[in-house]
Amino acid sequence: MPTCLVLAAGASRRMSGTHKALLEVEPGVSALARILRVSRSAGLPAARVVLGAQSGALSPVVLAEGGIVIHNPRWDRGRTGSVKWGLREIAPEGFPVLLWPVDHPWVLPRTIASLLSRAASDPSAHWWIPTYEGRGGHPVLVGLPARDEVLGYGDDEPLFRYPHEHPAVTVHVPVDDPGILWNTDTPQAYRTARGAREIPP
């Protein structure tokens, strides 16, 4: 059965002291909590969450939402390092893996359903990317055949290297969800996304 792997190990240095995983994205609901709830609503088993810089603050959220904590002591080496750390913890039967960065919490449940459905109908593909108006976003779905190659990447090497080098096994999945493009990397990006989702200030 597919597994959700949430990436939340970074220090959120550009968010002015507030970890982006704890930002409110729905009334009373943090980014991390929403991702875990959407994953669960999609019928996926307990999500794995890679933590690092602020494990102490984020672990209670993960556990309260039924997730499983994976601590990456080398979180500062790069996001792909956290991806690798998480993939090693997932058995082959847990693939494909939904790689979900915590700075993309606005994704709609139907988008996850579309990705999973497309993967089930494309057994020869290795990588599925949601697209909105021709632009790729997050989360992506990674098949087992891609695992070993990704594990060979450098910790700070861009993960998009795989679909770039393997277009024949990469599937772009059109979705009606601009949330796949929105992030919370900066305060301005967060305010823009909140406004688009009509979340009160």
Domain residue ranges in the chain: 3-196
CB atoms under 10 Å from CB of 85, counted, come to 24
- What are phi and psi for residue 184, nearest 5 degrees? -125, 40
pTM over 0.85, yes/no: yes
Specify the pLDDT at position 148. Answer: 96
Q: What is the pLDDT along the chain (201 residues), one digit of tens a residue?
A: 999 999 999 877 777 667 899 999 999 999 999 999 999 999 999 999 999 988 999 999 999 999 999 999 999 999 999 999 999 999 999 999 999 999 999 999 999 999 999 999 998 999 999 999 999 999 999 999 999 999 999 999 999 999 999 999 999 999 999 999 998 888 888 889 888 877 655
CATH architecture of 3-196: Alpha-Beta Complex (3.90)
Pairing of strands 140-142, 48-51: unpaired
